[in-house]
Amino acid sequence: MLHLMHRLSLVLLLGASIAIAGCSSNRTHTGSLSQEAANGEVSDAEHRQVERLERRYRANPNNADAALAYAGGLDRVGRTDEALDVLSDASAAAPDDARVNFYYGRALVNAGDYEDALSALDRAESAAPANSRLHSVTGAALDQLGRHKEAQERYRQALEDDPDNPRVLTNLGLSLALSNDLDQAQQVLERANAQPGADARMRQTLVLVYGLQGRFDEAEKLARRDLDQAEASDNIAFLRRMKSEPDRWSELRELDERSG
């Protein structure tokens, strides 16, 4: 069930399998938790693949490619805590490796450890020029720490290289909403939703902003693209209540923190 209050997390919009530009074309990298793993449905073939990746990693634990491949495999079958441990060890073994620190930082963001994530991402940026993916993940960490202006600058830097990325645009739009800049948030989110890769989560973020602007008819019409009538109506009723609250921005931030 897709419910607005469960879709406010910036972290959920990071996307799957964020890759560092400039790596070789045959690289193996970490991915985000698969839907099958999230549902507790992992095939025997996937488990065997993780076992193969583990053997390769155990044979040479200081090899960055082996560590990243094994961490990615663990993540895809839902063993996210183990994946984070592997990435932590890899970062300690290769503190100047931009790829390792990027993926470690991203995993820390997903785990909710935003301060340590920023440290890892800073190391990645010190080791190699930042790209749009690093700017985007850094922005998500900053947003979760309430550092919205800094986050927005990072998203804008990411968009310089990838101007139509709907995930980055959506994160920027939500960050602007959290800063009470609803008009700018609306423009950015409408642009995000005009992209071919826009999905239900991105549409529901625009629903949120429409609601906070008091544009409830537009909000409900868009909400019904992904929700049944009862869910859409519940969300709009929630947004009406939120808009009427004098301290709605604190409530919105609290919802975002709880959903992350």
Please name the fold of domain 22-130. 1.25.40
CA-CA distance, 49 to 43, in Å (whole number)? 10
Q: Is the predicted pLDDT of residue 249 greater than 80, yes or no?
A: no
pLDDT value at residue 247: 66
Please name the fold of domain 1-16+164-260. 1.25.40
Total-model pTM: 0.80
Residues in the chain: 260
Residue pLDDT, tens place only, 75-109: 999 999 999 999 999 999 999 999 999 999 999 99
1-16+164-260 and 22-130 have identical folds: yes
CA-CA distance, 227 to 207, in Å (whole number)? 12
Query: What are the residue boundaries of the structural domains of the chain, listed by start?
Result: 1-16+164-260, 22-130
CA-CA distance, 11 to 134, in Å (whole number)? 14
Cβ(178)–Cβ(252) below 8 Å: yes
